[in-house]
Chains A and B, each alone.
Chain A
Amino acid sequence: MQGDKGIATPLSVPYIQSPDMAVESDYRDWIALLKPRVMTLVVFTGVIGLLVAPGHLNPVLAFTAILCIAVAAGACGAINMWYDRDIDAIMRRTRDRPIPAGRIQPGPALGFGVTLAAGSVLVMGLVVNIPAALILALSVCFYVFVYTMWLKRRTPQNIVIGGAAGAFPAVIGWAAVTGSVDLIPLVLFGIVFIWTPPHFWSLALWANDDYRRAGVPMLPVVSGAKETRRQILLYTIVLVPLTMVPYLMGFSGLPYGITAGLLGLIFLERVYRVITDRQDEAGNSLTGDAPAKAAFKYSILYLFALFGALAIDRLIG
Chain B
Amino acid sequence: MALDNQTPAKNASADAARRRRGRSWAILIVLFALCGLFYAITIVKMAHF
- CB contacts under 8 Å to B, within A113-137, are 127
A127 and B41 form a contact (CB under 8 A): yes
- Closest chain-A Cβ to B22's Cβ sits at a distance in Å of 5
A25 and B41 form a contact (CB under 8 A): no
A27 and B22 form a contact (CB under 8 A): yes
Q: Of B15, B16, B41, which one neighbours A60 at CB under 8 angstroms? A: B41
Tally A-B pairs: CB < 8 A.
30
Given the complex, which residues of A lie within 8 Å of B22, measured CB to CB?
26-27
Give CA–CA (A309, B25) in the complex, Å.
39
- Closest chain-A Cβ to B10's Cβ sits at a distance in Å of 15
Counting chain B residues whose Cβ lies within 8 A of the other chain, the interface size class is 10 to 19
A25 and B40 form a contact (CB under 8 A): no
| Interface class of chain A by DSSP | helix
A9-29 CB mask vs B (1 if < 8 Å, else 0) is 000000000000000111100
Counting chain A residues whose Cβ lies within 8 A of the other chain, the interface size class is 10 to 19
B30 to A, closest residue via Cβ: A27
Judge if A58 is at the interface, Cβ distance under 8 Å.
yes
Q: Which of A24, A25, A30 has the most CB of B within 10 A?
A: A24
Given the complex, which residues of A lie within 8 Å of B15, measured CB to CB?
24
Given the complex, which residues of B lie within 8 Å of A178, measured CB to CB?
none
- Closest chain-B Cβ to A125's Cβ sits at a distance in Å of 13
- Closest chain-A Cβ to B13's Cβ sits at a distance in Å of 10
Judge if A181 is at the interface, Cβ distance under 8 Å.
no
- Closest chain-A Cβ to B46's Cβ sits at a distance in Å of 12
B19 and A26 form a contact (CB under 8 A): yes
Judge if A61 is at the interface, Cβ distance under 8 Å.
yes
A24 and B19 form a contact (CB under 8 A): yes
B16 and A24 form a contact (CB under 8 A): yes
B20 and A24 form a contact (CB under 8 A): yes
A60 and B26 form a contact (CB under 8 A): no
Q: Nearest 7 pairs between A and B by C-beta?
A: A27-B26, A24-B16, A24-B19, A60-B44, A60-B40, A27-B23, A26-B19
Chain B residues packing against A (C-beta within 8 Å)? 15-16, 19-20, 22-23, 25-26, 37, 40-41, 43-45
Chain A residues packing against B (C-beta within 8 Å)? 24-27, 30, 58, 60-61, 63-64, 67, 127
